[in-house]
């Protein structure tokens, strides 16, 4: 890059460009627009600053447009003349969504590690699938962990019992840990819940530990 211009880029920007499998020129264009005070598409200026051939810039630019990572927004300058400004909103939105997915994945991995810590053994394959079903289709992760705590308190640390707790809470309309805390008006008692499975068939044998 020329004119001793230092282009600033953070790790998330680089990671997203890598995940999107962008070419080097596409990445440099995004980086250029991200750092530009007035991100307009001036082909000659960009080619001069990035030291990239015009045809390569055009090809990369069109790819970014087709991938909906950048868009052209028509604006007026101080003299009333219209010009096209580059928006990276599509790229930023994609990066934000992927960061949320990564965060959710990390939370799930944390759930599995907590279950294994309390069970004092690695989870069986069926147990992993049941916990995935809870978190992906039915229950908030904070509710699942709260149900694990309830099972620990009652001395019944097994998937079937936790399944029952979640089922009973769902009937009461509890969706999060906060709902449970607000709904429980008295200290825990030691009465076990009736072991009614929410699934249509038995996932595990009765001797779950």
Determine the Cα–Cα distance for residues 204 and 191; give it in Å rounded to an integer: 22
Q: Can you give the length of the chain in residues?
A: 209
CATH 3.40.50.2000 correct for 104-183: no
Tokens of 54: 């015009």
Res. 23: pLDDT tops 90: yes
Give pLDDT tens digits for 66-113: 999 999 888 777 777 877 889 999 999 998 888 777 766 655 667 888
What's the pLDDT score for residue 107?
56
Considering the chain, tell me which residue range(s) the CATH 1.10.10.10 domain(s) occupy. 11-87
- Enter the DSSP assignment of 38: S
- Enter the DSSP assignment of 192: P
What's the pLDDT score for residue 180?
85
Q: What percent of the chain has pLDDT over 70?
A: 81
How many C-beta neighbours within 10 Å does residue 79 have? Answer: 5
Integer angstrom CA distances of residue 110 from 43, 80, 115, 159, 189: 48, 55, 9, 17, 28
At 51, the pLDDT band (50, 70, 90 cuts) reads very high
Q: What is the pTM of this model?
A: 0.48
Check the CA dihedral 17-19-20-26 and report its sign.
Answer: positive
Whole-angstrom distance between the N-terminal and C-terminal Cα of the chain? 62
At 162, the pLDDT band (50, 70, 90 cuts) reads very high
Give pLDDT tens digits for 111-159: 888 899 888 999 898 998 898 888 777 788 888 988 999 999 888 889 9
Considering the chain, tell me which residue range(s) the CATH 1.10.10.630 domain(s) occupy. 104-183
Average pLDDT, the chain: 81
Rounded mean pLDDT of 25-41?
A: 90
Would you identify the CATH topology of the domain 11-87?
Arc Repressor Mutant, subunit A (1.10.10)
């Amino acid at each position: 890059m020329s004119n001793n211009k230092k282009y600033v880029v953070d790790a998330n920007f680089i990671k997203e460009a890598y995940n999107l499998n962008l070419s080097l020129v596409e990445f440099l264009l995004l980086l250029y627009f991200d750092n530009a005070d007035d991100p307009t598409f001036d082909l000659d200026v960009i080619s001069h600053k990035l030291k990239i051939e015009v045809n390569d810039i055009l090809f990369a630019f069109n790819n970014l447009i087709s991938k909906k990572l950048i868009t052209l927004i028509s604006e007026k300058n101080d003299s009333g003349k219209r010009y096209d400004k580059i928006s990276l909103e599509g790229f930023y939105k994609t990066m934000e969504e992927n960061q949320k997915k990564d965060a959710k994945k990390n939370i799930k991995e944390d759930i599995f590690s907590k279950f294994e810590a309390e069970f004092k053994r690695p989870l069986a394959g069926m147990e992993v699938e049941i916990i995935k079903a809870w978190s992906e289709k039915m229950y908030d992760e904070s509710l699942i962990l709260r149900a694990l705590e309830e099972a620990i308190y009652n001395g019944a640390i097994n998937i079937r019992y936790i399944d029952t707790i979640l089922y009973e809470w769902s009937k009461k309309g509890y969706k999060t840990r906060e709902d449970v805390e607000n709904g429980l008006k008295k200290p825990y008692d030691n009465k076990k819940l009736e072991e009614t499975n929410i699934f249509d068939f038995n996932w595990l044998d009765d001797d779950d530990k």
